[in-house]
Amino acid sequence: MKVPLAVGVALLGMAGVAGTLVIASLGSEDEPLSSKPTPSLAVCDARETPPDQQLWRWMDLVVRLPKEGFGAHPDYIAPEPQRPNGGQGLRTYKFDPSDPSNPDVGASVLIDAENGAIVHTGGPEHGKIIGIALCPLDPATAPWPYNGDPPHDWKVAGVELTGKWPYTPPDPGSGMYAEYSIGSAVSSGTRPWVECELIFEGIGVRNGRSHAFIGMDSVSGAVCKDLSNVHPHDLAAFQRFLDRTEQCMLGVIEC
């Protein structure tokens, strides 16, 4: 999981969607990213993403990348004088589609999720970023698991799932990220339901304001879910993801 656009900063106005846009795609892969103001237009709605592109979200940050050979994941921005407590970011990366086991071939961009600023770039392929925008999440238009069906082609996105339980990752445009976890990271430090005595491994899912998990009790074998730290606007989507993951875990459906 290429049309070059002008580098620019613009105000984006749409029905129900507003944000500050930074277009970062360049004609040359070796040309550095710039913030030179130039009027531009973009669409924050994942449903409007062109077929040769993909949209990744983390909190209000939206990044558009080429469809093939690129991905992204949430990352932490280290403390600095301007941000003494650090902050949330999204890191893009390049992978070799012919070798999904090698997810990072040296090109990456770390983007500040709070203001859309590019914090760090590495490798000449950073110019492949097509667009960066700040767009508040609209649960009514967000992709699966908020709406619609799971991505049918997620397995070609270079994501290699680890752990004994299969699951279908949320659509990148939903801003939800799931991963197999062990130990206390399973429940993100929260207490599981009372019928679950010991959960050592499970699948956690988060989006920056909500987190939930599903696991199997090591004593009783019961499947346990925790949605106690999910924002009301996210509840239906997180429940939908956990329900499908339970079906995957129990072999009811193939994932």
Could you write out the DSSP letters of every residue in 124-154?
GGGGG--EEEE----TTT--TTSSSPPPTTG
**Is the model's pTM score more than 0.85?**
no
Residue labelled with tokens 């950073």: 126
DSSP state for residue 194 in the 8-state scheme: T
H/E stretch holding 211 reads strand 211-216
Calpha distance 246→244 (Å, rounded): 5
Calpha distance 67→51 (Å, rounded): 7
Question: What mean pLDDT is predicted for residues 150-171?
Answer: 68
> Can you give the pLDDT at residue 223?
81
Higher model confidence: residue 59 or residue 181? 59
> Can you give the pLDDT at residue 30?
40
Question: What mean pLDDT is predicted for residues 147-169?
Answer: 69
